[in-house]
Structure formats: C-alpha cells, structure tokens
Amino acid sequence: MKPIVEYQDYHAFMSDYYEERKRTSAFSWREFAKIAGFISPTYLKLVCEGKSNLSKVAMGRVARAMGLVGHEETYFEAMVQFGNARKDDQKKKFLEQMQSMALSHKVRVVDKDAFEYYETWKNSVVRELAPMMPGAMPGEIAKMCTQEVSALEVRKSLQFLERAGFLKQTTENVYEQTEKSVEGSKEGLPLAIRAMHREMGNLAVDSLDRFTADERNVTGVTMGVNRETYEKIVEELDACRKKIVAIASECKDISQVYRLNLQLFPLSRDFKKVEEA
C-alpha cells in the first residue's frame, strides 16, 4: 500500500487500507466498524465507496482504528476536511496543509536501481548522521559510528547517497535528506534486503555486549501459533513499524541514530506439514 502522503482522496485511502487488511487476514467491514466504534457494519463500506462522508468526529476514530499516529493522523484529518469542503478557499487551505506534510514526510521507496543502498549498513547510518553534522568531514562522521568504519568508507557512502538521490549537498559538507524515510521494495530488492537484515541482525547480537541495558531494548517471546495467527501477528508488527516510523518522523531535535529490528521466525517444524508428509 502506498504511503498516506501519496493520497489526496480519503475514500481511496480507506478503501486501499481495507483491501490490504482483507488480503492478509480475515478482516471484514463489521470488524472495521467495530474497531472504529460504529454501530452500523456497513457505514465504512459506504464511505470507502464514496457514498458517504466522514464527519470531523468520525475521522479521528477512523484514523485511530487504522493505526495512524503523528503526521499520518494529521494528514488523514486534513485529507478528510479537504474532501468534505465545499468552498474553494477551504479546499485550498487543507490542500496546502497536505502538500506541506507530503513534502516533509515523503517516503523513498528503493527499487532495483538503488540496489547498492542495501549492500551495507553504512549507507543507512551515514544517511542519518550526515545531516545531523553540518560541515563535518568524513573522518568525523566515522568517529560517531559505534561500529568500525573508515573515513574513506564514509566518503564513498556520501558520494553514493548523493549520486543516487538519498542526500543533497546544499553547501560544502552540509547535507539534507531528500526524503524523510526510506523503504525497500519487496518486489525489487529481496536479496539485497535479506543481506541488510542479516548484517543488522549481527549488529543486534553485538549490541548485547557493547551497550548497557538502558541504551538498548532487547525483548522476545516464544509461542505456539498456526498460520492464521501468524498472519495476524505479522499484520500487527507491520502496523507497529509504521507507527514507530511516524513517531520518529516527528522528532526535531535528533541526537543519535538507532536501528530497530522486528523479528519473527520459526523454532520448530510445522506439525501439520510433517503429518501430511
């Protein structure tokens, strides 16, 4: 599903959200309405079809039901008011709000042409550090990394990030991000993303000894599930990740770069598949 800032029609956004949830779970209009606190099981279906509109009161409930937080919730509410506005001056007001937020919180979806971005953890870290350190030389950026990296490696990363459009150099050694967030295309980069996950997983293991408990958060749970439950958990993890990205996007006084890994993997074989074999 596209990032919310790429939508201008809230009916279409809600419809795509429903179809995405329906595709990955046994989601229904009744459940959607119940989560949002509506009595009618068909109300949100009518909204998605453009046959009804959300009120100012309802839009907040729907935003929370869809797990929107931070700028995503604000954007959704502006989008609803833009869609419902009847006067041109009101439409212009909310459209300008949407355009401003879309520019500030644009998400870069990395496709096969930017495969190099995921070849090493250094690119994502340098992309975050460089804008935080205006005027810093590559060696200074290297010293701020908790993992060992040379000034030459940082310089090469900066050159790639600028060439590929992830960073823009405004003045000498002063960079700004071209997009607020970066996402990997599941269709275009499975191998590269898998390599990145492997590398970041190793760094997570290393963090257990390198950092104190108040500097890191490592938790886990072992549980028994079936395929349907697994899909629901994956859906919740995806929603959680999006909320965290939205929260991080609101941070104005950034002082450190962190990595969050969300991991869910099997510790046993599937009993049903073993029995069928």
Q: What pLDDT, on a 0 to 100 scale, did the predictor assign at position 113?
A: 52
Domains plus CATH for the chain? 4-105 (1.10.260), 112-218 (1.10.10)
**What's the CA gap between 24 and 230, in Å, rounded?**
10
DSSP state of 208: H
Q: What backbone torsions phi and psi does residue 147 show, to the nearest 5 degrees?
A: -95, 150
**What's the CA gap between 112 and 80, in Å, rounded?**
34
Average pLDDT over residues 40-53: 93
**What's the CA gap between 88 and 138, in Å, rounded?**
50
- Retrieve residue 111's tokens: 């496709």
Tokens 């954007």, residue located: 75
Q: What pLDDT, on a 0 to 100 scale, did the predictor assign at position 61?
A: 93
Per residue in 21-42, pLDDT (tens digit) is: 888 788 899 999 999 999 999 9
The structure's pTM equals: 0.61
Per residue in 144-200, pLDDT (tens digit) is: 999 999 999 999 999 999 988 899 999 999 999 987 777 765 555 566 777 788 889
Name the least confident of 112-121, 145-154, 198-207.
112-121
